[in-house]
Amino acid sequence: GKSWSMTGAQGELMGIIPRVNEELFAQVAEKQANSTRRFLIMCSFFEIYNEIIFDLLNPVADRSKLGGGLQIKEHPVMGIYVKDLTEIVAEDAPKLEVLLENGSKSRAVSSTLMNSTSSRSHSIFTIKVHQKDEEDTTRNVFAKLNLVDLAGSERQKGTGASGQTLKEGANINKSLSALGNVINALVETANGKKVFIPYRNSKLTRVLQESLGGNSLCTMLATLSPAACNYEETMSTLRYANRAKAIKVSATKNEEASQISRLKAEVEELKKKLATSASGGGSSGCMTAEEREAEQQKFQRQLKEMEQMMNSNWGEKAKLSEEHERQMQKLREERVRAAQALEEERSKRLRLLQEKNDLELSLRGVIDLVTSLAKIPNPPPILSGELPRQWLKTHRNLRQNIEGLGQQETLVQVFKHAFDEDVKLWGEGAEADDVGLMVTGLSRCLPKLDKLRKGGEKLLQLEGQCMSDVLELDESVGKAIADLDAFRKAMAEEASEGVAPGQSGEEAAAAEAQAAAGEGKASSSAAMEQVSKMLSLVHMQVQQKMEEVGKLASVDMGQTCEIVLKFSEGCLAESSEEDRSSCHSLRALIADPRLASMPAGMPAKPLREYEPHEVQDTPASTEAVLRQLIRWEGLVGKTKKCASELLARPPPKFILDVVVAVKAATGFPPDLDESWPDAREERLARFQQIADAVSNTLGVAVDFDGVDVLKGKEVNKTLRLMQLMAVAASRSMPAAGGAGPDRAEGVARAQELPAMLDCMDRCIQAAKVLVDVKRSEAAAARGDGERSLEEKIAQLETQLAEEARARRAQEEALAQAERALQETKAAIRKVDTECERTEAEAAAEGPDHELAEAERQLEELRQVAQNPDAVPDQGIIQMLVQQLEGLKRDADQAQQEVTHIEEERSTLKAAVAEATSQARRIEAEVQRERKKRETDQELIGQSPEEQKLILQTHETKLRQRAEALDAQILQMQAESEEHKAANRKLVSEKEELSAKAEDTNLQMQIVQEERDSLRDAMEQLWNEKATVDEDLETQMAGYINLSERLNNQQDETRELEMLVESKKDEVAELQRNGFS
């Protein structure tokens, strides 16, 4: 490619730039040896990234803080140049190579689908050569060599670019398109056309303006692709290069004397302008004092720059270069010291975290470390900071689950202790041959055993939750470590590229300088190493959490089982073989609790004692057998299926993962490659290697075919092979305790506890049957008058039953009160409904007709009373008056009844409200009474110490739950504040961006207006120029005609002169021959 052709590698594979470097200094050495000429060589190196110029010899850590980068300027004498660009004097070829290597490391590169190290910028390495002759100053000349490495044009569908890479590709294509337009314009100019050359459309064409169409020689190298899929790009590149060949350039010698004379003329011109501006003449006469002062300062600044260019000599340039190098060296030393201090601080923090050994602190340390790192291109997910924050959230859930697991483990220990005391009571009765005491102990054992079983089930459930979080965290941390190691390896390979063995002294010095210049990557590498150490610490602490969960979910049942076994064997010594089989099973579980996870039908003995014919071929048995060696949670954590579902038809990759896990735990099978092969033959060979290792260890032939595994057939043979492999692996392990090398004998895990408790339950039930028989026989032999301890116990049990009945009666009374309350509520609701219905009916029926009739009669009587003369009989009037008074009394009585009903209704509403509040109080009292009853039932039969311990456990659980809820509330409040702050920040950023967008739009409008005005002016100029060109062509045609006529006349004149000369020769010849 282009970059390879320009730079290449060490040795014979050197690129164009190193070869030019060697040839340049070879010719300089040759010319300096035998003449008075001396040479000064300076170099600069910059890149154009996203249309921004960056200095590669003085790179910045964060390019976003540099603004618009370096600026391009144009000088009337010096031409196009980049302002503030670093130029360093190179005394020999190794130093120039070091500068080239250091600058190349700072170039912008990225990975695409077509190229893993694709150039994302155009780089220009400039070498300036100044020749000085100490004897003849007229031979002082200078030259400039631009070695350009262009980034290639690309298509998004071919590179798969997105985001920043897509933006880079768009800017690359834009600048290359501008370069193509410039080349086309130069070609048309070479063909005689008058066209405008758009140098200013891109910074690339602006910088290369002199190289393309100025005083220069230009060579272009085009690289092609032989692939058929790149045919269009190849043809486009060929057409591109073919157009470039048609450019005509004219190179002349750059003499120092002519440049100095032009600089002097420019200085004199500036002095004249300055004097004119100071006197107020010329165009400055109409300026204000401030404008005139600004113009004078501008002329003075330009004059100062011109004088510096004229007076600058070799010594000053070398001195400036040395000063720059000293500053760069000082800056590098300061960076090294800062990096060392940062490294020491990180190491100190790592040691403190190792001493604390707290997972949450370590995770916060990882977050702080990755957020403080400098920006790295294409970093792994761990360096973004988001992944450690997810780990921190997972750890919070894990911490809460572990607290719950610890509380449940304490509760299980309480139940176990209570069970042990009851078993000891049974044992004391057996030793004293007291049947009543034995019955009491056995009767109290069974309820405690049920509580212990329920506690074990809850313990198993919490262990599953904790183990799920731990395995998720472990898997994510392990993947992050692998990704970071791969990233560090890639960085190391990139840093080691170009280092050849057996390098010379100059090459060693160059490599040392290169290493000093690459301190940024070294610092990044050290930071990566710190992150790797932090992740290793986190991974170790996660493993410790896994061990902690395993310990919390384990219960030491050895002593309990020994006691139960001892007294069970004593009671069942003369019992049947079936009863004694439970004791044998319990003894085997004491020796190896892992046998508790074995399904029914498999021998109850250690796995290393299994014979090949005793294994089975079912998924359940395979899961149980392999569980004694490995943890299934770590293998099935990546999928949503359980182990039995995967073993129903095991995938080939899953089988190899199981074998690798067995090898990690036991070391068997040895010499097994843990990687998953891609080729089918290698997979078959891997499975056959496993089968051969099992066959050699057990000394039996294994019926197995790897082809069936790949096809998913003969699953029973595959499962049998996996069980035989587990047996062989257990035999290859060194002899250890029955419980395994990772736990003490008699310690049972949560998943093994139910089977162990069931076995003890069978032993106790069998012993209780025999003790009940003995009790019946002893009761028959004793007289009626005897009062034994058994009768006392029966009496106590009767009292307990009566107390229970009293409690039930109290609960029934409470329930009856609740029912009465509900009935009262229903009656009140019925009365309210009836009142509402009555009011509604009254409102629907309208006014009372009887009352209206009475009022009408009353009105008539009032009229009669006012006109008594019209009434014939006074007795009728008196009767009517009496009736009126009766009606008034009835109306008053009805009003009183209405008032009384309203008062009763208000009273009923108050009663309903009071009854509702009383119902709430009764409900709360019922809940408290139920909780109290549950606690009392749990405390029944316990010793005071046990009761105190149970109550303390409940209190601790409630307190921790309250603390956890408070912590969650605080955490949610903190997260809410963070979200609010983030929202405020986003709002402010949005407002700033909106303001910037408005400013940009305004500037764009101004620029567009200026562009339109410039276009109009350019069109007018082009029209005028076209008119002038036409006039010039017309005049030129007239001149050509005159020239042709003049040439014809001159030819005729010469012919006549030749004729005259020939005539003269003839006349002279005749005169010599005697003719007069």
pLDDT at 159 over 70: no
Write out the H or E segment, with its range, that includes residue 285: none
Q: In whole angstroms, what is the distance from residue 370 CA to residue 531 CA?
A: 7
Which region, left, alpha or beta, applies to residue 203 given φ > 0 means left and ψ of -120 to 50 means alpha?
Answer: alpha
Query: Per residue in 188-243, pLDDT tens?
Result: 887 778 888 888 888 888 888 877 776 778 888 888 888 888 788 888 888 878 88
> Given this model, what pLDDT does residue 508 score?
35
> Given this model, what pLDDT does residue 268 score?
59
- Give CA angle at 987 (984, 993), nearest 5°: 140
pLDDT at 517 over 50: no
The mean pLDDT value for 818-844 works out to 66
Scanning the structure block, which residue is given the tokens 């009585």?
893
The mean pLDDT value for 588-615 works out to 77
Query: Per residue in 435-446, pLDDT tens?
Result: 778 888 888 888
pLDDT at 609 over 50: yes
The mean pLDDT value for 675-696 works out to 86
Q: Which residue has the higher pLDDT, 359 or 949?
A: 359
Q: Which two tokens stand for residue 153?
A: 């044009």
Residue 970 neighbours by CB distance under 10 Å: 10
pLDDT confidence tier of residue 512, bands split at 50, 70 and 90: very low
CA 57 to chain centre: 34
pLDDT at 866 over 60: no
Query: Per residue in 932-990, pLDDT tens?
Result: 666 666 666 566 666 677 777 777 777 777 777 777 788 777 777 877 877 887 887 78
Model-level pTM? 0.51
**Nearest CA-CA partner of 112 in 378, 386, 324:** 378
> Given this model, what pLDDT does residue 300 score?
61
pLDDT at 1020 over 70: yes
> Given this model, what pLDDT does residue 940 score?
63
Tell me which long-range contacts 908-916 makes (C-beta under 8 A, separation of at least 24).
908/828, 908/831, 908/832, 911/828, 912/825, 912/828, 915/821, 915/824, 915/825, 915/828, 916/825
Residue 596 neighbours by CB distance under 10 Å: 23
**Nearest CA-CA partner of 179 in 131, 124, 141:** 124
> Given this model, what pLDDT does residue 741 score?
46
Which residues lie closer than 8 Å to 436 by C-beta, 6 or more apart? 429, 775, 788, 789, 790, 793
Q: In whole angstroms, what is the distance from residue 170 CA to residue 153 CA?
A: 9
Q: Pairing state of beta strands 88-89 and 37-49?
A: antiparallel
Q: In whole angstroms, what is the distance from residue 980 CA to residue 886 CA?
A: 79
The mean pLDDT value for 628-648 works out to 73
CA 394 to chain centre: 15
Least confident residue range of 8-17, 457-466, 800-809 = 800-809
The mean pLDDT value for 376-402 works out to 85
pLDDT at 48 over 80: yes
The mean pLDDT value for 316-330 works out to 69
Report the b/e string of 215-254 with b at 16+ CB within 10 A.
Answer: ebebeeeeeeeeeeeeeebbeebeebeeebeebeeeeeee
Q: In whole angstroms, what is the distance from residue 1073 CA to residue 1068 CA?
A: 9
Least confident residue range of 39-53, 297-311, 672-686, 827-841 = 297-311
> Given this model, what pLDDT does residue 655 score?
86
Which alpha helices (DSSP H) does 208-313 contain, by range? 209-213, 231-245, 256-279, 289-311
Q: Which residue has the higher pLDDT, 880 or 163?
A: 163
Which residues lie closer than 8 Å to 93 by C-beta, 6 or more apart? 21, 22, 24, 25
pLDDT at 919 over 70: no
pLDDT confidence tier of residue 796, bands split at 50, 70 and 90: low
pLDDT at 837 over 80: no
Query: Per residue in 500-511, pLDDT tens?
Result: 333 333 333 333
* Contact of 218 with 211, CB cutoff 8 Å: yes
> Given this model, what pLDDT does residue 307 score?
53
Q: In whole angstroms, what is the distance from residue 729 CA to residue 739 CA?
A: 16
Query: Per residue in 90-132, pLDDT tens?
Result: 888 888 888 888 888 777 776 565 665 667 788 888 888 877 7
When the pLDDT of each residue in the chain is averaged and rounded to a whole number, the result is: 75
pLDDT at 490 over 70: yes
Collapsed DSSP state (helix, strand, coil) of residue 218: coil
Q: Which residue has the higher pLDDT, 905 or 549?
A: 549
| CA distance readout (Å), 291 to 273, 275, 297 | 14, 15, 10
Scanning the structure block, which residue is given the tokens 């409200």?
913
Query: Per residue in 1029-1057, pLDDT tens?
Result: 788 777 777 777 777 777 778 788 888 88
The mean pLDDT value for 768-782 works out to 75
Query: Per residue in 558-576, pLDDT tens?
Result: 888 888 888 887 777 666 6
Which residues lie closer than 8 Å to 713 by C-beta, 6 or more apart? none
Q: Which two tokens stand for residue 372?
A: 């403080």
Give the percent of the chain with pLDDT over 90: 1
pLDDT confidence tier of residue 753, bands split at 50, 70 and 90: confident
Q: Which two tokens stand for residue 435?
A: 């049947």
pLDDT confidence tier of residue 514, bands split at 50, 70 and 90: very low
The mean pLDDT value for 360-370 works out to 87
Strand partners, 38: 132
The mean pLDDT value for 770-783 works out to 72
Q: Which two tokens stand for residue 1054?
A: 């010469």
